[in-house]
Amino acid sequence: MAKPHLLLINPNTSAEITETIRQLALAEIGDRATLAAVTAPFGARYIASRTAVAIAAHAVIDAYADATADGASYDAVVVACFGDPGIDALKEITNVPVLGFADGGLITAAAQPGSFAIATIGESWRDMLAELTLRRGLSDRLAGIILIDENGRAPELAGPKITEAARRLGVDRVIVGGTGLIPILDQIVEKMDIEVVDPHRVTLHDAVLAASDPLQGKARNAAPNAPFVGISPALLDLLGSPRS
């Protein structure tokens, strides 16, 4: 049986973040799948606002269109950002499983008894992650969102702070997410005294399983029944929209 082929899409425009994600995937997945990692063609270097998320959603489907324009196919796609911009739109126009770091973390945390908290960097993510949790029908399990100060992400600072906040909230586990935290996440976890869900790792493993499951395939939804203007030729082709 051929190895599944995964596409990792970094919605940030930072090539360094893309490489960090790719290296994590290589370490976690090993030879269980082949990987392609691409960077958003436009948008914020690091997503930290609603405006950046909105732009990133467009960039994600544009990146997918470009990655498949030459006939390349993938068995699963990962939106590699803890916030999953564009994930629902991508699910609409693909016929393979589409997973996201935030979704993966939420599903894993909610699959176990008790409540959970989310820890991440960036004040703007507080409401956006709460809204995502609500849309996924899991808001009754979310006890709170713990913000890591941009200047306090050092493991010896972040780990105890997250643990203390989690104890106050009375949660059973904490999802600690954010692509900017990936290089130091293991060190942060070492400084914590509570169960941690690493959304990046669980999503990557889930993507391999989903890509290997023939029942996960689905018929692509009908292309949006409207002409589009001002978007890339690859995306026009993907959507089946005539070029002007």
pLDDT, one tens digit per residue, over 3-50 is: 899 999 999 999 999 999 999 999 999 899 999 999 999 999 999 999
Inter-residue contact 26 to 204 (CB < 8 Å) = no
The C-alpha atoms of residue 115 and residue 124 are separated, in whole angstroms, by: 23
CB–CB of 12/56 below 8 Å? yes
Common-topology check for domains 5-100+202-239 and 102-200: yes
pLDDT of residue 152: 81
137 Rama sector, left if φ>0, alpha if ψ -120 to 50, beta otherwise: left
CA 16 to chain centroid, in Å, comes to 16
Provide the phi-psi class of 76: left if phi over 0, else alpha when psi is between -120 and 50, else beta: beta
What DSSP character marks residue 111? T
The residues spanned by each domain of the chain are: 5-100+202-239, 102-200
- Residue 223: the pLDDT is 56
Predicted pLDDT at 212: 87
CATH 3.40.50.720 assigned to domain 5-100+202-239? The reply is no
Question: Which CATH number is 102-200 given?
Answer: 3.40.50.12500
Give pLDDT tens digits for 115-159: 999 999 989 999 999 999 999 999 999 999 999 987 888 999 999
